[in-house]
Structure 1
């Protein structure tokens, strides 16, 4: 149990968009508002879209339609809307808003580009016309395999504008991973670039794109953005089309009047086994949920700048796009890494571009901490109002470093957890309430979440399964060409109850903590143990930078904990350090939960957005097939885990 360390001031609470929304609906008590939101979900989500002032081509006839069953809930039935129109056209009509900055882009090499809402709208219309010239029709799938550049956002909005469906692909994927997605969704066009910079090095993207397209019979054209103007970039004249040639026609193009539940995006998530899952999202789903979470929960509004360290291939990339644009805000895209060319790169960007909302993972903070506080000294960071965090549970030391050293105890850390199939968050911190380190204040408005035991009964004070009891705007419209897998994954355990796959604990003060994925959770001598519980103890030690814990079969305890630790640069591996760490875990959790082994490694297997792949680690350590590794940033880390195995 940890005491709160950040407390909202009364005048700040009253300026929050969440408070203003509550007040418009006759409420000033947050808990009352939350209960109203989950007891009357139709009322709540209609309230949200009205407050966002979304424009409809045809009014909806029913807010929530569950006639096909709760897992297949439809929102705003019979309504016609287009997300690109709502992101751009309604602001362009406003003489003030049209000149507001929509995108700031900074390249790895320091290049900067900015577009206003008016300029972004013109670019989107031009590329939309270009796609139509290539024969792209409503419902066609367009894969976007681009670095974090402005054209990535333009392509997403242009595809949605003409009623087609875009598939964002992680910029770090190799050809095989891209091909798997192209083949599964039968993409008609692939949008890519000649390459990009990463840590000062040229990454040749077109070569990977060509290999992926060669393996995908459905791909008719490859659109190429010249990010690097490479003279040695390979070209296939019959298939390749230059972005600049395709976007010459700047005439206006109105948006297609798409159905509210019509797909606009398929975003793939990697599974540990089998092919990746293509999560389907609609025009009135994902964007609305992202806009609510960013705008009301994180308090992002017009004049604010959101910078989330992510990639468009991960959910938080599209989330940033729609969360910022639907709120009339500015997004910042960054091609590079937070510590290149120097460890102050991230702070320099925040200061230079006057970032107000910074989204960052615990992994990035752990990496920056090791360079020390001196790299913060040159920057005021006085524009920051909110830190956002998602992807991994926090440990106390990096959370405190961000809060105390970077935010000077003034900037709240908005902890946020949900998923690709959610379109955003289930749990979050609450800027209207005190915040305790590493915690969540509870479920977000509109999310009827609960922690339950093995019989689906609510529990407090012990670890349980996170479930959602009511449909919400943004819930997935199934998996592409695989409805049965969608039902089996989330709806199979209990009738009409979404089982998210996270283990969560609610303490006596009402703070919620994620202890790990339920399939990562250990059961040692009959006691359930989240990996985060062990990992937090290990990183409390001054020698440990980060850690990960997995469970392996054990003849005595059923399962035993195996820990992996990355040491800080000024510490060396030793048997005495291992014993010290073992003792620390045993003293704080009990002797029965003492790890079976602790291994020192140089790095942990992660995705580029900072998620530690514990299931991959477990497979590598136990000699099993690791499953889909396409999202892995550092494959050599898996080999190091394999070498630690006693078998």
Structure 2
């Protein structure tokens, strides 16, 4: 597959990557990446100088020890909040817009004063270093303030997905033994009031969390003992912390067992976010980052902390991406002159049926870089994103990693051509490989995506669950981080993610990623979305079952199911023809529009699907259950 985007002088001149390569005397990204893994101490010293990272006490060694429990920037002391708030006081730091169009903004000076106020107020209420504090909020100003204030006083933030019900939130609060919960009383979603406060009271009671602090977006009345976020008073300077002191637990859901809390530290997650935003996305001081996400997903804190660390302006949006009209995201781009826009592939697929006019009616000339993460692409939606949203001039920085990584393992640098759906580079400082079943590196062959060396930003482990962490990432090959993604590394040095390895289909001995099957199905003009799963088959070992959502104007029928199955067979070969095609109104997705194939498979097979609390649309599960 040939590239669709090629670097231009405008992207090279003055870029973070260009300046870093010049400082190191290196000719290209390949040389820089090789230097970053062969000479990590020198690389990180130069990088931190480039980023002007504000240490209170300089570190002694960037990386000490190997997998599974290395330490980073040993001896260094800092507080991540100082990295986030050290920029000119009159520069815009945050812009927040609600679904109904209310806009608020804070400069860096105003943000600093507010963080000091909230941190001081929490400290006066008895929240101190090491205490865990839940943050149950959408992407709002208060969410960013809460995250920074907890870090400033030395606490540990626990972001919680804004779509959870009380039981799911309580499970995380109880596991973390949270001392306080900061909640937004509610928000608007598709024009309806979503009231979180009653859910928060129930979660507080179930988890035993002592303190409830409420940001009153909807103005709901408080009960005795509850604290109004706006009345927090005090002033607390950021507390000096060790480099490996935790500041955040992000819980990720699995298909089995309780959610796992990934532990992140002051000189890890924020630095990795800033590194990737600088060297992959080239976010420059004063530029405006808009990533459609939620505080409870890794990309929420990533955008806030990474964007602020680089001196950018972070746009926070609290609402649905296609309400009250399908061009809402692009209206925000026009109004706030966003330079960087990040959307998931599933969200792009959902926007396509609304037509190109929903995009083109809004001015997108401010955009310089598009971003994408969360799942593999299909070709048609990728090209639509590139052609319609990016006008064939903007690079799409495909970005893949995860919560446990603090960002990306793979991405696209803007000094190399970009192939559709692919990644043209491993992240700096990460020795990346694709491994076969014996753990040997392979090229032009599908295998497991792995990292062979420690990197700053990797989680310290799972909260109070060391054994589960070791099994999850180091159980396959000793001393190697196996990420769980199926990948291919081609002869041109481009990577392609084919799906989670535990989603991989193996039909009559042939391995295929679900994305390949779904891409073939999406080529049928009736199919809007698709999810392919493997089910046991007595002859083939595994057979393919396809779930499809139809575009408006098409009705389910056996004949249409046959057409879709035949389209897959024509694209991939008869052995990979789906055994069955089921039409459903919707597919189970998370709030950031990631299709949960493992949930689809478990439900279809009548097995326990595990934790479903992160689903945006739990009603979609019932349609799959009926398809059995």
When the two structures are superposed, what TM-score results if normalisation uses the length of structure 2?
A: 0.98
**Alignment pair present for 1:178 and 2:169:** yes
Q: Aligned runs of 1:161-310 on 2, under 5 Å?
A: 161-217=152-208, 219-230=209-220, 233=221, 235-238=222-225, 240-247=226-233, 249=234, 251=235, 253-310=236-293
Structure 1 counterpart of 2:323: 340
Distance 2:92 2:354 in 1: 33
Question: Helix, strand or coil: the match of 1:5?
Answer: coil
Would the aligned equivalents of 1:64 and 1:76 in 2 still touch at CA under 8 Å?
Answer: yes
Structure 2 counterpart of 1:10: 9
Residue 567 of structure 1: CA displacement? Answer: 1.0
Runs of 5+ unmatched residues, structure 2: none
Would the aligned equivalents of 2:446 and 2:486 in 1 still touch at CA under 8 Å?
Answer: yes
Candidates 507, 511, 514, aligned match of 1:531: 514
Distance 1:601 1:637 in 2: 8
Residue 146 of structure 1: CA displacement? Answer: 1.2
Distance 1:585 1:344 in 2: 32
Residue 510 of structure 1: CA displacement? Answer: 2.9
Distance 2:567 2:413 in 1: 33
Residue 194 of structure 1: CA displacement? Answer: 1.6
Provide Cα deviations, 1:329-378, integer angstroms capped at 9, x if missing partner.
Answer: 00000001111101121111100000000010111111111010122232
Would the aligned equivalents of 2:339 and 2:366 in 1 still touch at CA under 8 Å?
Answer: yes
Structure 1 counterpart of 2:111: 120
Candidates 273, 297, 302, aligned match of 1:314: 297
Structure 2 counterpart of 1:94: none
Distance 1:593 1:200 in 2: 43
Distance 2:48 2:299 in 1: 21
Residue-pair matches, total: 628
Would the aligned equivalents of 1:106 and 1:335 in 2 still touch at CA under 8 Å?
Answer: yes
Would the aligned equivalents of 2:279 and 2:413 in 1 still touch at CA under 8 Å?
Answer: no
Distance 1:577 1:192 in 2: 47
Distance 1:11 1:131 in 2: 46
**Alignment pair present for 1:488 and 2:475:** no
Distance 2:80 2:440 in 1: 39
Structure 1 counterpart of 2:433: 450
Structure 1 counterpart of 2:83: 86
Distance 1:315 1:397 in 2: 27
Provide Cα deviations, 1:196-237, integer angstroms capped at 9, x if missing partner.
Answer: 1111111010011000000112x111001110113xx4x431
Distance 2:50 2:16 in 1: 10
Distance 1:471 1:44 in 2: 14
Distance 2:491 2:626 in 1: 42
Would the aligned equivalents of 2:139 and 2:300 in 1 still touch at CA under 8 Å?
Answer: no
Provide Cα deviations, 1:37-66, integer angstroms capped at 9, x if missing partner.
Answer: 122223222322221111111121222110
Structure 2 counterpart of 1:622: 605
Question: Helix, strand or coil: the match of 1:370?
Answer: helix
Q: Root-mean-square deviation (CA), in Å? A: 1.1
Distance 1:263 1:17 in 2: 28
Candidates 64, 70, 85, aligned match of 1:73: 70
Would the aligned equivalents of 1:392 and 1:610 in 2 still touch at CA under 8 Å?
Answer: no
Would the aligned equivalents of 2:445 and 2:489 in 1 still touch at CA under 8 Å?
Answer: yes
Candidates 485, 488, 504, aligned match of 1:502: 485
Distance 2:562 2:443 in 1: 34
Would the aligned equivalents of 1:45 and 1:473 in 2 still touch at CA under 8 Å?
Answer: no
Q: Aligned runs of 1:297-446 on 2, under 5 Å?
A: 297-446=280-429
Residue 380 of structure 1: CA displacement? Answer: 2.2
Question: Helix, strand or coil: the match of 2:357?
Answer: helix
Distance 2:72 2:483 in 1: 21
Distance 2:572 2:267 in 1: 46
Q: Aligned runs of 1:479-628 on 2, under 5 Å?
A: 479-628=462-611
Distance 1:324 1:377 in 2: 27
Residue 191 of structure 1: CA displacement? Answer: 0.3
Provide Cα deviations, 1:148-177, integer angstroms capped at 9, x if missing partner.
Answer: 210100011011001111000000010001
Runs of 5+ unmatched residues, structure 1: 92-96
Provide Cα deviations, 1:583-633, integer angstroms capped at 9, x if missing partner.
Answer: 222222221111111111111100010111111100100000110001011
Question: Helix, strand or coil: the match of 2:325?
Answer: coil
Structure 2 counterpart of 1:147: 138
Q: Cα gap change, 1:357/1:11 in structure 2, threshold over 3 Å: closer, same or farther?
A: closer
Candidates 102, 105, 108, aligned match of 2:99: 108
Distance 2:2 2:584 in 1: 33
Distance 1:599 1:100 in 2: 52
Residue 11 of structure 1: CA displacement? Answer: 4.5
Would the aligned equivalents of 2:520 and 2:572 in 1 still touch at CA under 8 Å?
Answer: no
Provide Cα deviations, 1:373-404, integer angstroms capped at 9, x if missing partner.
Answer: 12223222000000000001111111111111
Question: Helix, strand or coil: the match of 2:354?
Answer: coil
Distance 1:133 1:591 in 2: 68
Distance 1:44 1:610 in 2: 36
Question: Helix, strand or coil: the match of 2:385?
Answer: helix
Would the aligned equivalents of 1:137 and 1:164 in 2 still touch at CA under 8 Å?
Answer: yes
Distance 1:522 1:368 in 2: 28
Distance 1:377 1:421 in 2: 37
Residue 487 of structure 1: CA displacement? Answer: 0.8
Distance 1:550 1:9 in 2: 41
Distance 1:506 1:540 in 2: 25
Would the aligned equivalents of 1:365 and 1:398 in 2 still touch at CA under 8 Å?
Answer: yes
Distance 2:59 2:16 in 1: 25
Regions of 4+ moved over 4 Å: none
**Alignment pair present for 1:51 and 2:50:** yes
Distance 1:29 1:378 in 2: 39
Residue 542 of structure 1: CA displacement? Answer: 1.4
